[in-house]
Amino acid sequence: MTTPPQAQAIAERELCGLVNGLAAQISDHVRRRAVTLGLTAAQATALRELTGPMTTRDLAERMSCEPSNATFVIDKLEKQGLVERHPHPTDRRAKLLVLTDDGVALRERLLGLLTQESPLAGLTAEQQRTLQELLEKTVARP
Amino acid sequence: MTTPPQAQAIAERELCGLVNGLAAQISDHVRRRAVTLGLTAAQATALRELTGPMTTRDLAERMSCEPSNATFVIDKLEKQGLVERHPHPTDRRAKLLVLTDDGVALRERLLGLLTQESPLAGLTAEQQRTLQELLEKTVARP
DNA sequence: ACCATATGCATCAAGCTAGAACTATTCAAG
DNA sequence: CTTGAATAGTTCTAGCTTGATGCATATGGT
pLDDT of A138 > 80? The answer is: yes
Nucleotide nearest to B78 (CA to C1'): D10
Name the strand (E) or helix (H) holding A54. Answer: strand A54-55
Residues whose beta carbon sits under 7 Å from strand C: A 24, 28, 31-32, 55-57, 67-68, 71-72, 74-75, 85, 88, 91, 93-95; B 40-43, 45, 64-66, 68-69, 72-73, 76, 91-93
Interface test with A, best of B63, B69, B139 (most A CBs within 10 A): B139
Is A139 close to B21, i.e. CB distance below 8 A? yes
Report CA torsion sign: A132, B44, A62, A141: positive
pLDDT of B3 > 80? The answer is: no
CA distances from A73 to A46, A50, A52 (A): 7, 12, 17
- Can you give the distance from the CA of residue B21 to the C1' of nucleotide C6 in angstroms? 26
Mean pLDDT of chain B: 94
pLDDT of B63 > 90? The answer is: yes
CA distances from A34 to A64, B18, B20 (A): 19, 20, 17
Domain boundaries, chain A: 5-138
Q: Lowest mean pLDDT: which of A57-66, B83-92, B113-122? A: B113-122
How many angstroms separate the CA of residue B74 from the nearest CA in chain A?
A: 19
DSSP 3-state of B96:
strand
**A99 CB-near residues (< 8 Å, 6+ apart):** A47, A50, A82, A83, A84, A107
Contact present, B34 and B10 (Cβ < 8 Å): no
CB-CB neighbours of B53 under 10 Å:
13
> Nearest by CB to A15, which of B21, B25, B132?
B132
Mean pLDDT over residues B62-80, rounded? 98
CA dihedral B119, B123, B127, B129 (to 10 degrees): 40
Rounded Cα distance, B116 and B104, in Å: 19
Helix (H), strand (E), coil (C) string for chain B: CCCCHHHHHHHHHHHHHHHHHHHHHHHHHHHHHHHCCCCCHHHHHHHHHCCCCEEHHHHHHHHCCCHHHHHHHHHHHHHCCCEEEEECCCCCCCEEEEECHHHHHHHHHHHHHHCCCCHHHHCCHHHHHHHHHHHHHHHCCC
Contact present, B35 and B17 (Cβ < 8 Å): no
DSSP 3-state of A86:
strand
Q: Lowest mean pLDDT: which of A3-12, A101-110, B113-122? A: A3-12
DSSP state of A142: -
- Can you give the distance from the CA of residue A28 to the C1' of nucleotide D16 in angstroms? 14
Q: How far is CA B50 from the centre of its chain?
A: 10
**DSSP code per residue over B10-43:** HHHHHHHHHHHHHHHHHHHHHHHHHHTTT--HHH
Confidence grade of residue B6 (pLDDT, cut at 50, 70, 90): confident
pLDDT of B136 > 70? The answer is: yes
Q: How many residue contacts between A and B have a Cβ separation below 8 Å?
A: 135
What are the tens digits of pLDDT across the range A81-124?
999 999 999 999 999 999 999 999 999 999 999 999 899 998 99
How many angstroms separate the CA of residue B42 from the nearest CA in chain A?
A: 12
pLDDT of B142 > 70? The answer is: no
Interface test with B, best of A6, A14, A18 (most B CBs within 10 A): A18
Nucleotide nearest to B69 (CA to C1'): C17
pLDDT of B1 > 80? The answer is: no
CB-CB neighbours of A16 under 10 Å:
22
CATH of domain A5-138: 1.10.10.10
Q: Comparing B11 with B139, which gets the higher pLDDT? A: B11
pLDDT of A28 > 90? The answer is: yes
pLDDT of B2 > 70? The answer is: no
Is B127 close to A137, i.e. CB distance below 8 A? yes
Model pLDDT, residue B8: 83
A121 to chain B: nearest residue by CA? B138
Nearest-CA residue to the C1' of D18?
A66
Model pLDDT, residue A142: 45
What are the tens digits of pLDDT across the range A38-85?
999 999 999 999 999 999 999 999 999 999 999 999 999 999 999 999
DSSP 3-state of B61:
helix
A125 to chain B: nearest residue by CA? B8
